[in-house]
Structure 1
């Protein structure tokens, strides 16, 4: 049974709430923060990114969300500059999570940037702050989302340190999956084109009895090497400011999306992070 205790979507800089195309209810940010100023982006392709809250103070400015202590949560912050000040700048500033450095936000006029963390706060609140690090680079934030997970999800990560999203991808698909297909609203992006693979899909109802609970729609598509007799690689490049530090937590899900004969068996080896794992 899914027990979602926190599902908060804050449209930063907005005065009114709305329900988006994914049936997610967004609220304005007045009840979460008292500093900063509301602004409107000059160009935005959705309602949430059309507003932002800007903080001209050099001090850090924080949103605080109440949660049940001991709950593992997903926190996702979105920033869209949208040339709100008509200065055609590319501001850079820091994000902080519960007072600790999270990431350095680098912006452009037209691109939305999302930063996501999964962690267990030490108390009964989660705080997300923006902080000025370069004079004249004014921090801002466009959206803030907090989702809680069931107790067993991501339990292998422990409770002492946060995990920061690098990529979460689905193979052989062109669309994004999130809520309501994923009740925890993790965003599953279509994988970039990888050479040497054949795409496979099925309409069957596939579920995975694994503790991190990937959505069924993420398991109905797959890729297989076009040449069954040779190896092929999936390569991702990490451009994050955290690229050179820390460890990686990698989940790879496998589902049989083709109908095999009773005597058929699929077996293969995986090499990743200089380690070999066998799957069959």
Structure 2
């Protein structure tokens, strides 16, 4: 059965609990972790992720520090959402980040927002987000208690990066947290300097928890996708990372057609574009999680909108393989991904995780 990814996605509405899995990474070199609104000179280590956060004083000027209202504080999923910096003055207010790698780096940048009626007005904000001089996205708060995250992979043209909040109506822009993570320069190849996250999904998970640092070395946030029509296969052994460094906690589970309910032996899903000019990149992560007997084979082809994209492939046992588009897909309203078993395959296809990005 084909699964629709829209509806699950996105402005990145974060209502799930954070996975508390054993420490796997402890290297925050190059990380910039800003908790907006905490006092100047203060810092702390988050007890769940182990990430070290600092005040935004010195990264931006003109902001006003506030705490979200008490009724929302008790329900806040993470400490970084308890305070905000708001910008009642000026049309455009910018944070300046100076990562160690400068112009030679590629970075994951994430901006987080929880309104929490910090100003006591109950007036839900709406404003634009820019990176450098380029429009990134619009932040539309539709629920005071639900956090929103916006994420981008960015290759700068200068040694510093500006993230700007731009006032577009009578409401006041604000921000809860701003995070930068250095990436391996060779991953997420693209024709563009900016890729906005559309989806990053963990298939085969049995929990309603998302996984991030300190399991993921790049602090990507992996959202669970509970696929009712698929069977789950998994392993208790570690799955080796490739250059994309998708953590074993993600790659040790996968979905495959359920022999009891499947009408065909494929894994398929789709999403729809807001308009046909949008350009998408997709990254699919595969690993065999069961030891396939020598008498059997798992082999499949991957199709995008009925065109053979990759294959045939047989995923490696306990080792990650990433398959991705080198140029963007565009010009259509709907993107159908179908993973079909080949004629010689005795086992159905599997899929462990997927990432979809939209070119800015």
- Backbone CA RMSD of aligned residues: 2.0
1:244 Cα shift?
A: 4.8
Report the Cα distance in structure 2 between the residues aligned to 1:50 and 1:4, rounded to whole angstroms: 23
The answer to whether structure 1 residue 36 and structure 2 residue 63 are counterparts is yes
Matching of residue 91 in structure 1 with residue 111 in structure 2 = no
Using CA pairs under 8 Å that are at least 6 residues apart, name the structure with larger relative contact order, 1 or 2: 2
TM-score normalised according to structure 2 size: 0.71
Cα distance change of structure 1 residues 244 and 116 upon mapping to structure 2, 3 Å threshold: farther
Aligned length: 271
Is 1:123–2:123 an aligned residue pair? no
Higher strand share: 2
Asked if residue 133 in structure 1 is aligned to residue 168 in structure 2, the reply is: yes
Q: Which residue of 1 aligns with 2:230?
A: 197
Unaligned runs of 5+ in 1: none
Please give the secondary structure, in 1, of the residue aligned with 2:198: coil
Equivalent pair of 1:3/1:150 in contact (CA under 8 Å):
no
CA distances 1:61-115 after superposition (whole Å, capped 9, x unpaired): 0100112222000100001100112222221000000121100001121111100
Match of 1:48, SS state, is helix
Query: CA offset at residue 268 of structure 1?
Result: 2.3
Q: How big is the shift at 1:216?
A: 1.9
- Evaluate the alpha carbon distance shift between residue 226 and residue 260 of structure 1 in structure 2; reply closer, same or farther with a 3 A threshold: same
Q: 1:273 to 1:118 in 2, by over 3 A?
A: farther
Matched, 1:7 2:31: yes
Offset, 1:273: 4.1
* Match runs of 1:213-232 below 5 Å: 213-227=245-259, 229-232=264-267
Aligned 8 A contact 2:240 2:248 in 1: yes
Change (3 A) 1:34 1:248: same
**What per-residue deviation string (whole Å, max 9, x for no partner) do you get for residues 12-48 of structure 1?**
0111211111100000111211211001111141221
Q: For structure 1, which segment, 86-95 or 113-122, has the greater mean C-alpha deviation from structure 2 after superposition? A: 86-95
Q: Given the two structures, how large is their TM-score scaled by the length of structure 1?
A: 0.90
C-alpha spacing 1:235/1:11, structure 2 compared with 1 (3 Å)? same
SS in 2 for 1:114: strand
2:220 is matched with 186
Structure 1 moving runs of 4+ over 4 Å: 2-5
SS in 2 for 1:249: strand
